[in-house]
Amino acid sequence: MAIAVPKRRLFGRTKRPGAAREALVGYGFVFVPMAVFLLFFIYPMGYAVYISRFDWGILGPLNSLGWKNYSSLWHDTLFRRSIKNTLEYTVWVVPAQMALGLLLAVVVNQKIRARTFFRGAFYFPSLASSAAIAAIAIYLLNVDGLFNKVFGLHKIWFYDTKTALPTIAGLNAWTTSGTMMLFYLASLQAIPTDVYEAAAIDGAGPWRTFWKITFPLLKPGHFFVAVVSIIGAMKIFDQVYIISRGTGGPDYATYTVVLDIFNTAIKDAQLGLAAAMGVVLFVVIFALTILQWAFFGRQEAA
């Protein structure tokens, strides 16, 4: 992250008058936020690893297990299922989100009338809470719902093991495309205009211009949106929890990793095992981000 931090010796003696007072005021101003970040962000990270090494019930640690929680996760069929579901969901939703976000961004980046209106309209679903979106989806996709009526179908989208997960992926592609649009827009506007002028002089049509110029030049945008999208997808919880009433059903077809963490910690009160799952998911997301950076981002810097 490129942030201009002035170069200064960390604990260098300052001879300025009032320096001690300034430092005191500075510590005073950052004290509460720093306390919050240390207590509720930094400390929990280590604490999660600590808890994950115990058989830990409601009342506290029972037995120290070393890394045994992790090895039992390896043989845990339900956890494996949740990993598989989460990855499958990610494979569905990420390309859909990116394509839709890019399409919307290109559309609202044109020199058109009412651009503000369209941008507002496309962003609108991103405003809505996950619970509201889930409620609306349950209504529109029920067997007698609007969606089935419009297309003359009688499908039970969320209650069929084959369609449940892809349907939730489609739902989230729709609701997050507005946010992806904003990220792509920022990236689109970083492309210098003279490239387009050159293309126009060469007689390139809009389709060719898009694929030969816009799309490749958007590489930093693709990288950023892909990272945001994948991380978000791996953390899917709210919608599957609400739509399946916390079961991850039908028949565990929508049982995701974070849902497994929640149920293991809260319903089964196995905090040690749940903490281990959290650590595993964090490591997977972190590794994916590094991999993406290695394949995609580094060439970018070069």
Partner 1 sequence: MSEPAAPPFAAVEELAAGEPVAVGSAGPAGIPGRATSERVQRFVAYTAMFAIALLFFVPFLWSLSTSLKPLPETANFSLLPHTWTIAGYRAALLDYNFERYMANSAILAATVTFTSVLLAALGGYAFARLRFPGRDVLFFLVLGTLMIPDQLRLVPIYRMLTIFPVTHWNLVDTYQGYWAIRMVSATALFLMRQYFLTIPRDLEEAAKLDGAGYFKTFRRVMLPLAGPALAAVAILEFQGTWNDFFWANLLLQSPQHWTAQVGLAQFTFTYRTQWNDLMAGTMVALAPVVIVYLFFQRYFVAGVASAGVKG
Site for partner 1 in 82-101 (CB under 8 A): none
- Both tokens of 92, joined, read 């569905």
Query: x/- contact string, 171-190, with partner 1 (CB under 8 A)?
Result: ---x----x--xx-xxxxxx
The stretch among 70-78, 88-96, 159-167, 277-285 that binds partner 1 (CB under 8 A) is 277-285
Contact between 257 and partner 1 (CB under 8 A)? Answer: yes
Residues 16-45 that bind partner 1 (CB under 8 A): 19, 22-27, 29-30, 32-34, 36-45
Candidates 63, 64, 71, 129: give the one binding partner 1 (CB under 8 A): 129
Contact between 288 and partner 1 (CB under 8 A)? Answer: no
Contact between 200 and partner 1 (CB under 8 A)? Answer: yes
Give the position of tokens 């810097």: 301
Contact between 267 and partner 1 (CB under 8 A)? Answer: no
Candidates 66, 80, 162, 197: give the one binding partner 1 (CB under 8 A): 197
Q: Determine whether 142 is exposed, middle or buried from the number of CB atoms within 10 Å of its CB (0-12, 13-18, 19+).
A: middle
- 3 state SS of 129: coil
Radius of gyration for the chain, computed over Cα atoms and rounded to the nearest angstrom: 24
Residue 162 Cβ, how far from partner 1 at the closest point, in Å?
Answer: 21
Contact between 2 and partner 1 (CB under 8 A)? Answer: yes
CA distances from residue 281 to 26, 82, 288 in whole angstroms, order as listed: 37, 11, 11
Q: Which residues pair with 56 in a beta bridge?
A: 61
Cα angle value 48/49/55 (rounded, 5°) = 85
Q: Which is nearer to partner 1, 75 or 245 (CB)?
A: 245
- Both tokens of 47, joined, read 């604490």
Say if residues 257 and 145 touch (Cβ distance below 8 Å). Answer: no
Q: Does a cis peptide bond (omega within 30 degrees of 0) precede residue 250?
A: yes
- Both tokens of 64, joined, read 């120290």
Contact between 294 and partner 1 (CB under 8 A)? Answer: no
Residue 173 Cβ, how far from partner 1 at the closest point, in Å?
Answer: 12
Candidates 96, 165, 218, 228: give the one binding partner 1 (CB under 8 A): 228
Could you please report the per-residue DSSP string of 125-162? HHHS-HHHHHHHHHHHTSTTSHHHHHHT----GGGSTT
Residue 61 Cβ, how far from partner 1 at the closest point, in Å?
Answer: 10
Contact between 216 and partner 1 (CB under 8 A)? Answer: no
